[in-house]
Amino acid sequence: EEKAEMQPLPSKPYDAIRWEVRKADKDGRVQVDGNHYLAGPSWRGWTLDVALRAFDVTIRTQDGRTCARLPRVYGDSPATIRDPATLLPALGRKTNAWPDSTIRDDFPDKLRLAIDRMDAKARRNAFRLISRTSDACGFEPAVEAGEHLVEQGHPLDEASLTTMARRIASGEKPYEQTAPDLTGYDVFMQPRGTRER
């Protein structure tokens, strides 16, 4: 008889959220429950809505734009919880901030060294490419793809970076073999007179 009295489950799952309103500090961070979450430098001074779920925190503007989605931390964390991808657009605009950037250590060594050697225009382009690729595939696959391209001696271009990042994001390992040696075929590409000597 209890079964007949039960209500059907709702068609949409219930999303347990606690909403907080916080003002971002000068670095674009909001503080909730003793922890700092980075929305990004673009949002410094803004009043932001913070959605606290069991496992993640979503930071939005009051008109509904999502600033960042971060893992939730319980207790007091001394470090700022951040997603390195949120800082890439700012680095694309202000490339001189790269040597002192908090996300510098999030880049693989070879990619970091390659970016260090770039001039301002190439560095700006690299950060913009990595930012777009990161939006599509995630930060980790984007920087791994960038490092792989640098290791292979290729320049960072959007097609190569995005393709490699998608392959890495799907679980594929970067192609680790070197290119085949085709010097034996060079004989066929030489004019007939030079071959006979």
Domain boundaries, the chain: 18-82, 85-169
- Convert the pLDDT of each residue in 128-176 to its tens digit: 999 999 999 999 999 999 999 999 888 899 999 999 999 999 988 876 5
Average pLDDT, rounded, for the chain: 88
How far is 60 from 50, CA to CA, in rounded Å? 6
SS (H, E, C) 102-170: CCHHHCCHHHHHHHHHCCHHHHHHHHHHHHHHHHHHCHHHHHHHHHHHHHCCCCCCHHHHHHHHHHHHC
- Spell out the residues 6+ positions from residue 176 whose beta carbon is closer than 8 angstroms to its own: none
- Write down the pLDDT at residue 194: 59
Does residue 192 have a pLDDT over 90?
no
- Convert the pLDDT of each residue in 55-78 to its tens digit: 999 999 999 999 999 999 998 888
Residue 12 CA, distance from chain mean position: 30
